[in-house]
Amino acid sequence: VAVVTQTPEGLAVQWEHSSGSPSALRRHLGADQRLAASEAVLGRDPAIRRLLPYTSGIALMRQEPWECLVSFVISAFNNIPKIGRSIEHLSRRFGERIAAVDPADTATEAGRLQDGRRDAWSFPSPERLAGAHLDELRACMLGYRAPYVRELAAIVASGRVDLAAIARLPYGTARRALIELPGVGEKVADCVLLYSLGHREAFPVDVWVQRAVERWYFGGRSTTPRAIRAWAIDRFGPLAGYAQQHLFSGARWVVKTRV
DNA sequence: GTGGATCCTAAGTT
DNA sequence: AAACTTAGGATCC
């Protein structure tokens, strides 16, 4: 467990767990990526060049695959604050307690200890979630997604699907394998491929990215997510994943600031 | 102006 | 291709 704070000089890290390693943290956050070269190429695109003043510095995380997979299955037809609360509930109910940390941020009141500190829990293993009852999962605000999460856990825990093996496959093969899984469609598969497995040609198309592309590239014409993905891979190639991050972030920035 | 009922939307998948 | 959990904001009385 580490408390990470952004400072003008860089990231300040307060370790709460003795086995932490700075290089692993950098890799997890994507802070080891050299972004300048990618942004220089992407900046040749007029729409992205306009966004870069607000989105420059975005990196691609490298999350643990199981946690990433479950998180994005939960994300379907959901909203971002509730997704966070669901993951917090799952971890507290089925994960293991790791440490108590000083709350440098006050983003959530959940899990506050009596002394004002906050405890931290690991993301639950496939084995633990495979043994969960559906009503316990629904109590974590999973709703109709509860069966997906439990089936997913059962499949991974049984060894019928090996995420580490999928991680070694090339993009297209890994993508088809992920889409076989319950609750995983094209968009969620691309999220796992991009945020966890390091496939930077992946281009997840959610409603935000779809709106952004239709507005800034298609002259307002509406299309399908599949057509947008094909267009993006053709246009941005191995930088499609970074392009998606800037477009997503830019689309949300526009709404947030009402531009 | 306040408060409760109702409607609507939200990181898609089946 | 309609249906899906459900919290939280918007709108309406």
Q: Quote the pTM value.
A: 0.93
Tell whether the model's pLDDT for residue A35 goes beyond 80: yes
**What are the pLDDT digits (tens) for A41-54?**
999 999 999 999 99
**Minimum-distance nucleotide, CA of A82 to C1':** C7
Judge if the beta carbon of A207 is closer than 7 A to nucleic acid strand B.
yes
**What are the pLDDT digits (tens) for A173-212?**
999 999 999 999 999 999 999 999 999 999 999 999 999 9
Active-site residues of A, by number, are 187
Q: In whole angstroms, give the CA distance from residue A108 to residue A205.
A: 29
Q: In whole angstroms, give the CA distance from residue A170 to residue A96.
A: 33
